[in-house]
Each structure stands twice: as C-alpha cells, then as structure tokens.
C-alpha cells in the first residue's frame, strides 16, 4: 500500500535539508530559492519497536519493516496559483500526494536568505494557504461553469446535489476557509474525491527551529504556529533540520546516545513519520516465521480478506480464515505455543476488522 506525504513550504525554510535527513539522500540543498526543481521521492522506514521483539523471538532469515513515501516539493511563492515561480508545476505535484507536511521557518539566521526578507511564520503559512485555496477555487469554478446550467435545467438529483455542494465549497474558499475545515459528510467527500482538492488534504506543520530552541522545546514563533494550526486541528512537530541532518549520518546506537545527550527521547523525523502514518489512518499488521518477519501497512477499517490481498491478490480471492494473535498477547505470553495454550489464538472470518498489531497467518485456497 503506497501512500505519500508531500513536504512543502516557502523557499529556504529547511525543506530539502529535512528531506535529506529523512531519506539519507544527498539531494541539492542550496541557499537560494528553487534549489529543488523536480520533486524528489524517498522511501523511509516506519519506526516500530515491536519488530525488535519479533526479530529476537523468531530469528528470521529476513526482517522487513513497513515503509512510507515522502516527496520533497520545490518551494512555493506568493502568486504560485497564477504561475509565479514554478507555481503550477509545484501545485500539480502537491495534488499527487495523500498528505501535506508544511515546513515553517521558526529560526533567525542572517546568513540564510528568506524569500520574504523577514521571519514571520504566520505570514508564511498564510501565503501557502492562500495559494492552495486559490488553486482549489479555480477547479471549483471550472466545474460549476461546466455543470451550472445543467443543474438548473436537469431533473437529475445527483447533478443538483453536486452543484449545491460546489456552491457551498466556493463560498467557503472565498471566505479563506480550507475544505478540510468543513464538516463534510461521507457522501459529499465521495462526490469531490476526483477533484483532488489541495485544501482537503490532511496537514502536519513542522516548526524548524535552531539548536538552542530545540533544547528549550519551543520559542515564540513555534507558539504562533501552534495557535495557527488549531483551526485545522493539525499537529505541530518541533524539529531542528541541522540536528536531524547530523543524526542521519550516525548509526542507531550513536543516534540514541546523541539524543540522550540532548535530553530528547525521539528525533523529530521519527515523530514526523509516525504522525504522518497516523494522520492517514494507517496501521500495521505482521506476518512472522523463521523465514521472514514482516510489517504490512493497512488502512484503518479494512477487513481480513482485504489485508490478505495486500500480501497477494490470490490470498484475498481464496480467503478462508485468518489465524490471528495480538502482538500484546505474544509479548505477554512469550511464545506462540504459550499464546495458544492461553486460548488467545483466534480464527477470524471474512468480516473481521483488522487491528493494529495483529499477527496473522492467512488460510486460503485458489
């Protein structure tokens, strides 16, 4: 299951430095706008301590963590929706992602140019939000122009419903409201799914701070970002791109020691990966044995046959039953045998809703 988060922000806020740290790729991170012209895609491992236990228990020939995809999208500028900078190209790249990670500059540094000449996170966030709103407004307007007359003359209830919804969305966008801030019903979301609206995508804000402010845990700029994020019920993660860049070159053991010295429990990027995973409603199930221990990503609400299909389409087509134990039960009991003896190994059918941490053996027949 491939889902992608797009990293966006104004030029020179630390996007590419963070992306380098995330993926350990050496892409261009230059001190001038548009250093990133084509989106860079990187696959990252989702941190999961449960794999350590499973690896120790099964001692498999292969250990495969679940992964997540990040796309570094070149910096937006004011006027992007009308083609300023590399506007339309950037906006089209954002349309392709499932979630947005917006990096906001929350540090002062006279040696790093700011495209707007001063550090002001609220202004920066509003610039990006307005550009995304204008881009969505253009799509909504085009659709209204296409079906407007038809909706007035037609007896088709679905067309009329769509026209009414589009009119409501247009009013919200013109009032500088994002689509994600509206309380839309499931049916309405299905109606507009094909438009791939930018302001409907879930968002996380990354406040990029200096080394000193990371140790403090916050600064005045970060508090502004947190207040702004409340209107979208969005999470804010505080990170220092410079430190994350240093961490990316260390071994896991060295990384733990470095974080311990800083008094930080978890790197900002590990927090980001987990938060983005959660934001998209993703969870993990496992398959485990001596050949391979593997983590698999699934969407919350998926049933056992659908999850079996993630492994192989034949598993879903010929699904019979799923033999399932929870990670918590395996950890508490210590072995599979002990889980079975405790009566905690279950056989589940086609209607079983998978849970995060399920360890599965799928029975199928094709």
Question: Could you report the per-residue pLDDT of 153-205, keeping only the tens digit for each?
Answer: 666 777 788 888 999 999 999 999 999 989 899 999 999 999 999 999 999 99
Question: Could you report the per-residue pLDDT of 323-334, keeping only the tens digit for each?
Answer: 999 999 999 999
Other Cβ atoms within 10 Å of 275 Cβ, number: 19
Alpha-carbon span 254 to 193, nearest angstrom = 45
CA dihedral of 351, 354, 360, 363, whole degrees rounded to 10: 20
Can you read off the two tokens belonging to residue 218? 């916050």
The model carries a pTM of 0.81
Residue 243 CA to its chain's centroid (Å): 22
Average pLDDT for residues 108-137, to the nearest whole number? 84
What is the DSSP code (8-state) at residue 7?
A: E
String of DSSP letters for 66-116: -EEEEEE-PPP-TTGGGT-TTHHHHHHHHHT-SEEEEEEE----TTS--TT
Question: Could you report the per-residue pLDDT of 249-286, keeping only the tens digit for each?
Answer: 888 888 889 888 888 888 888 888 888 888 899 999 99
């Amino acid at each position: 299951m491939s889902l992608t988060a797009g990293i966006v922000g104004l030029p020179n806020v630390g996007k590419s430095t963070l992306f380098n740290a995330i993926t350990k790729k050496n892409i261009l991170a230059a001190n001038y706008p548009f250093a990133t012209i084509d989106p860079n895609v990187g696959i990252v491992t989702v941190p999961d301590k449960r794999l350590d236990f499973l690896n120790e228990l099964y001692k498999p020939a292969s250990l495969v963590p679940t992964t997540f995809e990040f796309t570094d999208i070149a910096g937006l500028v004011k006027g992007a929706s009308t083609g300023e900078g590399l506007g339309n190209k950037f906006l089209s790249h954002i349309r392709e992602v499932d979630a947005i990670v917006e990096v906001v500059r929350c540090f002062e540094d006279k040696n790093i140019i700011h495209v707007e000449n001063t550090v002001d996170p609220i202004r920066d966030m509003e610039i990006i939000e307005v550009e995304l709103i204008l881009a969505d407004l253009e799509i909504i307007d085009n659709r209204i122009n296409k079906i407007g007359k038809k909706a007035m003359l037609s007896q088709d209830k679905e067309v009329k419903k769509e026209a009414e919804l589009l009119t409501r969305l247009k009013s919200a966008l013109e009032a500088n409201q994002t689509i994600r801030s509206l309380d839309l019903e499931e049916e309405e979301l299905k109606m507009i799914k094909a438009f791939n609206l930018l302001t409907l995508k879930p968002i996380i804000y990354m406040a990029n701070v200096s080394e000193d402010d990371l140790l403090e845990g916050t600064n005045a700029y970060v508090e502004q970002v947190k207040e702004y994020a409340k209107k979208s019920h969005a999470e804010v993660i505080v990170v220092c791109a410079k430190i994350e860049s240093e961490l990316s070159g260390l071994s896991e053991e060295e990384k733990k020691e470095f974080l311990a010295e800083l008094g930080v429990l978890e790197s900002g990027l590990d927090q980001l990966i987990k938060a983005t995973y959660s934001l998209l409603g993703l969870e993990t199930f496992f398959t485990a044995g001596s050949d391979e221990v593997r983590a698999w990503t699934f969407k919350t609400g998926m049933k056992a046959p659908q999850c079996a299909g993630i492994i192989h389409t034949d598993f879903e087509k010929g699904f019979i039953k799923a033999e399932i134990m929870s990670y918590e039960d395996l950890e508490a009991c210590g072995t599979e045998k002990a889980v079975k003896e405790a009566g905690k190994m279950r056989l589940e059918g086609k209607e079983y809703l998978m849970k995060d941490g399920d360890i599965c053996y799928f029975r199928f027949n094709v």
